[in-house]
Structure 1
Amino acid sequence: MGMELPTEEAGFHEMNDGYISDSEVVFHVRSVLKLVSQGDNEQYNQLVEVMNCTQRLEPDQEAMLVASLKALSGAVSSIDVIFHETLLSSIFGMSMWNCGRDAMDALVELIINLAVSSGNFVDACLDMLVCNFLPPPTVLPSLSQTRGLARKKEVLDRVHSALRSIADLVPLAPLRLMPIVLQRMPRVHAKEALIVIYVESMLRLESSSIGELVGSTMLMAVVDRLIDLDVEIGWEDILQEDTGKGIFDMELEDIEENADEDDGKIGNELPKGALSRQNLGGNLVAEKLDSLMELACEHLKSCAESGRLVKVFETLIQSFEMTVLNAHKSKFAQFVVFYACSLDPENCAMKFATFLADVFMCRTTPPLTRMSAVSYLASYLSRGKFLPSSFVASILKRLVQWCFEYTQFWDSQETAFNPRAHRVFYSGCQAVMYVLCFRMRLLIEVPHLKYQLFHMPLEAILRHPLDPLKVCLPSIVEEFLRQAKEAPLFTMSETFLFNDQLESEFSKAFGGMERLDMFFPFDPCLLKKSDRYIRPNFVFWSMVRATYDDDEDDDADVDIYEDDLADENAASFRENGLAQSVEDHDLDLINFESSLSKMSISPKASLKHGFPGQFDTPTRMPAKIRPSTSPDW
């Protein structure tokens, strides 16, 4: 090209011993490009060499690059996709992360001009910009430092500005951008920093002007990646297996904790068979998932602050239905939806519960999906601190009415007792009992809600020949009966209703002791970063006041109940006591682990049907219990 160490001065560039204007440089570059078609490649190859920068340049080299990029911007009409393939390949392979500010600006200008000049270049320009979502490996370590973060902002601001400019000038560009972004998305086994920085750009696209066309796709792709990471975490990664038990016999056992006053850490090891956050320590997949969920929660928070959450939530619900709802092994990804609901109790929170109830009651929906939906619904109604009591009661009324109507249509002539044939029904019954284990006392303290609860046909459902108490999970049945007796919720005699063993073969076949999927979806979140978003809006079992609890001798450290007698439509519970303090992280973590330890999945002794008050040592509620499968009703 004949250019030697040019410097910029008053709009002119020094070339050899003389000065030429910008327009003359452009003319010269056009001539070089035209000579290629005539077989003269010498100066062309020099130009290509200038574009081949794979690392940070010296100031003189940077100046040469800037001059060349600006000249090419003015000569884009002379660039041919066939004759200048090597030049285009060099340009599209450039990394802004290796360029100075002037070079980045010149490169962005060239990419935009190329995209606008010809439809042949649009995809390649978009792909080049998307590739610049990610830094080169040499830059990656510096992103944890202040200087690296500043560099990241400089690059990504220009990348996204270029994407918006191309979208404004080329109307079809956003639609062509979507598959490129999805294809370039790092896989689950990529480094955490790469996945996080890429997803940051995806969410930035979602909230930009381009998001009007690609936003839903970006958000759904992020949820898909959360699920991909979630299912990579095996239960063996979060459960310590007792070698004397089968994997399906494990339960959440009591954890003996000693808080060290100096550092607030839990002193003792977890027992085998325990579910704990500690077991995920050092799990790289869990750490990736945690970081992405933190990013998603921050994005949802910003959407709420900007008034976009209701619109974004529509996409989130759609993604949940398509991806999360039927993901059998999902453990934590669903908390993104939970957090979104907590940000908008009046709209999103109620919409999610209604959606789940509708899915459960839709006869054309596959049984497994209906069972999953009611499992999510039960867990959500039980754990959502932001849900008003009146709303919980209204959803319970729908569930109970559905179960009652099911018993009315049941063929009384059926001879063989087959729980699998009525699995949707049993899932609904189990969901009702599970929610009441968490909410019964709260409901009976509000006069009109107590009236509603006591006039629901629960008794008729439970004494029906389908016998849900014999099929549903024993630990749920026992806790429910214990609270129901204390309420008292039933008028019939105990011996008439409950005269069989809780831990029956039917319960095992349906989804009891011998299934790993006994876990409710919104069990306490074990991911460290994500937990700080969930915890303030989450009901732990240790926080629940059961109907049989003595107020004066209540062992619970926290009272989650709002005074519903004074405010029946309270959208959130009030935390009392000294133990539950969001600001005191160490004490909070101890209480979090303690709440897990108090929730045993299965009874530790053989139990007879009868009200659990008969037993000397009542067992605790399970943390997560997902029912098994159901009929087409």
Structure 2
Amino acid sequence: MSTIRRPVGPVAAATPKPLIRRPALVRKRKDDDDEEAPPSSPGKKARVTFDSDVEVRVVSAWEKAPLLIQEEVRRAFTKRAVGDDSGYDKLKDIYGEKKPNEEDLGPSTMKNYTIALLANVSALNKSNSDLVHAVLGSNWLGRTEDYVALYVRLLANLVSAQGVFLADVVRMLVNNLTAGKTHSLGTLKAFPNSLPVPPSNGGIEDLPRVTRLTIYDRAHRALQYLLQLIPSASRILSSTMTNAFPHQTDSRRSHVIYVQNLLRLVEYSPELRGEVLALITERLVKVDVQVQVDLEDLAEDVGEDLVDQIPPARPDLMDDIEEPDLSDREEDSDEDEDDEEAQRAKEITKNVEKMDAILDILFSHYEQSFTGPSIEEQDGSFNILLSQFITTILPTHRSRHTQFLLFHFAQQSSDYVDTFVGTCVQITFDKGQPAIVRQASAAYLASFVARGMHVPSNIVRDVFDYISGELARLRREYEPDCRGPDMRRYSSFYVLVQALLYIFCFRWRDLESAPDDDFEEDDLATPSGQEHQWKSGVKEALSQNVFSKLNPLKVCSTAIVTEFARIANHLSIVYVYHLLETNRRVRVLQSAGTGYGQPNRETALSARRDESYQHLDAYFPFDPYHLPKSKRWLEGDYREWSGIPGLDDEQASESDSDDEEGAECEVEEGTETDETGGSF
């Protein structure tokens, strides 16, 4: 703003004192040795002179008296009613990006305009929605605390008087709980018209910068007050939370910040806890599945150990959210990678870090309720996890890590173990369920019983009996018309046999006639020449199913069948190697055969075909968990593959000897991969 200096002489004397709202005029100071200015001649105007040696005060902000602002706002609405929008448009400019006279409004002026709007809130109806949206889009979170309190009052009065704006107000508050970062290119392409309004950045000229944590705290306070004032707002909040959730391709930081804020919302709105946790789990499963698909698409040697190579987790981003972390800056760069496979590996690593961080947050959230004194709260949290398992996790193929939330917390008590196992048994044997859901449930059942360190022996034996009984029923149903192994017709039978074999491989000690729940594995090696004593029905169930005309060992996963054969032979419970040798010449039927009881035999032509697609998938949901940050929650819960006392020691010695002898030939001839390594 330019400065006008006050003239010296008679003209200066005649100049009236300026009003406080006008730019300050300057006055010349007289020194003792200054000469008096000559009197002006009659009829001739005095010359105006300026003194440069003067202190100048500049009014930097455009401010008005409160009463004047209130009258201006009132007249703006009155004139708009008769077709004059000049004052109304000025109000929109005040709250929008464009400021009147291209000047910034001082804090007091903005506060007085908001007070005036509060006094005229009844005029903020649907016909004036563009002004309402300008107010909602203003940077109120970056201002002083007294202004924030006034603004929240305006929001509360607005939605109370004009309920049509409730959804807009809720959407604005929820969007200010996001990371405030531009969406990725993938999001822009997928959802070009549904991006949320960016949240306040906390920066306003002439005011102290407000941190991102303070912005989130203010948005939460406003949302909490609004929910207390209008309980029906929670219904709108549900859909708004879903729309504002970061896209799957957005950064780890964006996901972590939003998930943390959603869980904080649950603290003052507990009725939304189930919906919030279900939303987070649903989005987490999508990332989880995408990681598995991407890993399978990579070359086997690249994707195999990718998760293990992820560096230790960085500190929680909620402790340092003012600056994006390194991974975000890398994600935003548009640099092209020369190596497409390396670029894909980098994207997978980012998704794994994202998934790991969200899982760690969820583990911590649930832990607070499971360690609390309230049994009702613990049961409520477990029921939420169980509901998410049934509705989201179980029907999703290839979920790899999300289900470990239930794996961990279901082992917090014997009642929860029994409930989860009972749920899986019920779904597995329910003919009303889709076949793919029943098969997935059988895999979860077997994997939980096999891998759960706190699953007691009596549960292992009961599940073994349940599966054996169902298999006996299926054999009676299928065997009369069986012409050989047929994966399509007898898939339910093969799935249960594979589950039975998997449980036996891990928990055979619990199936002995008098197992000790507190056993030490080193104490279980049976003395030489002494046979194992098995619980009634175990040996019969294995023998009857393995040697059934349905021939499950031809269809079940090769890795599981191979390991079962080793263990069963060593424990002298059943010998199947001769059957495996016979199966080399047997082909799996496609609902047809050469004759009753005569399976198709392999020919020179058919031997060239890969029959791996005719084997069951060796997918067990609780295979080893390797996420670097969140794996700490599973310490003491997870049963690692321990092998067989005596047998594995002998094989290890033989393997070491073979390695030494064949070390010189390994480079030329290569080494074979142990098929059993993938599942155990």
TM-score, normalised relative to structure 2: 0.65
Q: Does structure 2 conserve the Cα–Cα contact (< 8 Å) formed by 1:97 and 1:136?
A: no
Please tell me the residue identity of whatever aligns with 1:320: F
Correspondence 1:211 to 2:262? no
> 1:521 matched to which residue of 2?
621
Which residue does the alignment assign to 1:439? 507
Q: Partners in 2 of 1:400 and 1:280 — Cα distance?
A: 46
Letter in 2 for 1:303: S
Q: Which 10-residue stretch deviates more, 178-187 or 229-238?
A: 229-238
Distance in 2 between the 1:503 and 1:379 partners? 31
2: CA distance between counterparts of 1:251 and 1:183? 33
Larger Rg: 2
Partner of residue 69, structure 1: 114
Partners of 2:239 and 2:582 in 1: CA distance: 58
Deviation per CA, 1:378-435: give whole Å up to 9, x if none: 2222222232222222222211221122212324143354232111111111011112
Aligned partner of 1:594 in structure 2 is: none
CA–CA distance in structure 2, aligned partners of residues 158 and 400 of structure 1? 59
Match of 2:235 among 175, 182, 203: 175
| One-letter amino acid of the counterpart of residue 629, structure 2 | K
Q: For the Cα contact (< 8 Å) 1:383–1:522, is it kept in 2?
A: yes
| Separation in 1, partners of 2:64, 2:277 | 56
Indicate conservation of the 8 Å contact 1:474/1:502, yes or no: no
TM-score w.r.t. length of structure 1: 0.69
Residue of structure 1 aligned with 2:546, choices 462, 473, 488: 462
Q: Which deviates the most, 233-242 or 501-510?
A: 501-510
Structure 2 CA distance for aligned equivalents of residues 488 and 35 of structure 1: 97
The reply on whether 1:546 has 2:644 as its aligned counterpart is yes
Rounded to whole Å, the distance in 2 between the matches of 1:329 and 1:551 is 34
Out of 614, 619, 622, the residue aligned to residue 678 of structure 2 is: 622
**What is the one-letter code of the residue matched to 1:211?**
P
Alignment match, 2:146: 102
Paired position in structure 1 for 2:582: 500
* Separation in 2, partners of 1:59, 1:298: 45
Aligned mate of 1:299, from 347, 360, 365: 365
Change (3 A) 1:504 1:222: farther
Q: Does the 8 A contact of 1:441 with 1:545 survive in 2?
A: no
Q: Show the counterpart of 2:631.
A: 531
Q: 2:62, 2:106 within 8 Å by CA — same for their partners in 1? A: no
> Equivalent residues in 2 for 1:221-620 (5 A)?
221-237=279-295, 241=299, 283-306=349-372, 307=374, 308-342=377-411, 344-444=412-512, 446-447=514-515, 450-451=534-535, 454=538, 457-490=541-574, 500-501=582-583, 505-506=587-588, 512=612, 517-541=617-641, 544-546=642-644, 548-549=646-647, 604=672, 620=676
Amino acid at match of 1:218: V
Distance 2:145 2:419 in 1: 47
Partner of 1:198: 258
1:293–1:530 CA contact under 8 A, matched in 2: yes
Question: Shift of residue 45 of structure 1?
Answer: 3.5
State the distance in 2 between where 1:156 and 1:400 align. 56
Alignment partners' CA distance in 2, 1:106 and 1:396: 66
The structure with higher relative contact order (CA 8 Å, sep 6+) is: 1
Query: What is the rounded CA distance, in whole Å, between the counterparts of 2:98 and 2:429 in structure 1?
Result: 59
1:151 equivalenced with 2:211 (yes/no): yes
CA deviation profile, 1:93-116 (whole Å, cap 9, x unmatched): 234553343333332222222122
> Aligned equivalents of 1:167 and 1:604: distance in 2?
64
Q: Secondary structure at the match of 1:284?
A: helix
Q: Which one-letter code corresponds to 2:488 in the other structure? A: R
Cα 1:47–1:505, aligned 2, differ >3 Å: closer, same or farther? same
**Structure 1 residue 88: deviation in Å?**
0.5
Change (3 A) 1:94 1:141: closer
- Do the aligned residues in 1 keep the contact of 2:177 with 2:199 (CA within 8 Å)? no
- Matching residue's letter, 1:370: R
Structure 1 residues 109, 510: CA separation in 2 closer, same or farther (over 3 Å shift)?
farther
C-alpha distance in 2, partners of 1:368/1:328?
Answer: 9
Instruction: Give the letter aligned to residue 170 of structure 1.
Output: I
Instruction: Name stretches of at least 5 consecutive residues in structure 2 with no aligned partner.
Output: 1-19, 23-60, 183-197, 203-207, 310-343, 518-533, 590-606, 654-670
For the pair 1:121 / 2:165, whether they are aligned, the reply is: yes
Q: Which moved more, 1:418-427 or 1:522-531?
A: 522-531
Root mean square deviation, CA, Å: 4.4
Query: How far is 1:545 from its partner?
Result: 4.2
Q: Residue 112 of structure 1 contacts residue 166 of structure 1 at CA under 8 Å; is this kept in 2?
A: yes
Measure how far apart 1:486 and its partner are.
3.1
Question: 1:528-586: CA deviations, max 9, x gaps?
Answer: 22322234422222xx242545799999xxxxxxxxxxxxxxxxxxxxxxxxxxxxxxx
The one-character-per-residue Cα deviations of 1:504-539 (angstroms, maximum 9, x if unpaired) are 643999984777953322222333223222344222
Tell me which amino acid in the other structure corresponds to 1:61: G
CA–CA distance in structure 1, aligned partners of residues 225 and 449 of structure 2: 45
Q: How many residues matched? A: 512
Q: 1:30 to 1:488 in 2, by over 3 A?
A: farther
